[in-house]
Structure 1
């Protein structure tokens, strides 16, 4: 087992798998495989089968030992988790018993300077989970000042987003912004924090990472794919680390668990029947011991639901935030 895999700990791993309730003969999807923390717990149930999905080829490559140990019960697929319904169909499992997903970047990616996710180690300004498409450096080089401000404000909830965007545009006119340290220094020049606060660049880096990897778009699409793929009685478990992510999951589940308000213009027979029953009235959070062992757990929220036998709802794939395609196409301004 590689050092990277062995030191990664899945946040709320025990709670997530308890809600998933794996059983012998069941088929489960670890939609954001990472280092396989959830998969290992599921595979501990004799006879359970796991389909692991990750867009990062490194995560797939480093888990071949686990594939061997699973003796045919673990299949790994390099793909986006938004495509989980197509992945499952390709694995002769169009309907599954459970899906678990951990939204965000893994500790392995943060720890490797060459991946460019962290400002704590100097490296190329990359941030791509799948190591393809536009990088964070590309976005910083091309996006207009207005787009940069919107990205940093919406995805990073950075109240100094306009000042950061101006500083980035001013700096890139002098020379390209190619490394994590250079960008972090630019942000720190206009965002000032008190001692013991988070690093000034934290929110800007978070925003760029979410934007480059289209994480919110992916999440929304993955939730719809899960609804189509789960069997009646199948469980969906989602762990998020950002308020926007949690809001998307909460709103999705609330909409799917509701029978609709109805009206005199819409007879009862035309109302959409609930496709999920919510299992967590409030999100599950990490306890103090887990937070002490893994500070990343502090912002984690777990929500779970069980699929009903009713038909899937129509998918809403409209996004109320800047998209990678439109921003990169728009160019500088």
Structure 2
């Protein structure tokens, strides 16, 4: 491999893999021609497709493996039996310094378990979190955790706030991101003890790379009230799936309405340009790519059902994180944070993945 950004790809992860993965890699190289790839997968399925993309073939190295992590496989089983899988070898490449990031559209729980076991968590961070973009009235925000940790204590939530703030600064360009903790009300007395303790630590902390706004409610997510929304993985996953389902519901309602009569169809023709803008703004492929924050290595999870464009956006996120030295920036900001308590760096063989979030 030549010098520069190298992204390890799990060619066998995703509903339409490996064709979706390779086409996505080709699209990503059109945006970032200097990026190279280290691709892992079954030679009989990948090589014939790779040969069709001459430019891509010249910009990547391919490693054969017969083993693949199935979409329905339990994380614990994948961790024990998937040591030679395309997913595990791609993660190993980051650990060994052969690549700066790994991207996979495969089994979320297995990816989290393997990545945590191989890459470990950063010093001082107990649990990694799944973070991703949310479209808002003001642009975009980042929300975490989206499913890695069903139960979180106050220290976990403070960790999420810091990591989400760094992500917001580097990727969304917010100079001093605003941070909010998702709650059942904005009043200080609402919620439970872990939320109150996290809020108190964030209000009194020195070195926080952002400004703590306070508690926010569910409707604040779409309003863009804050740049970083912090919550536990159970609540975050429910919010994510609810938002996805609502977007599909609204899209279906609009489709039915415009087909309901001749004049409705005529109205669609008149509003076609506006509808194109709306579809583009809400296109889930634009926001594809969830980052596992807190690991000592960049791991990006693509939605398993995405297409090549969506996968290219996930690769683009990985490239941006690598170019901005994301891991180093989190470490630097974490060292500056004073919360008045210390914690140990937790590691376990199961990786802590409890919810399939993406």
TM-score normalised by the chain length of structure 2? 0.32
Higher RCO structure, 1 or 2 (CA under 8 Å, sep 6+): 2
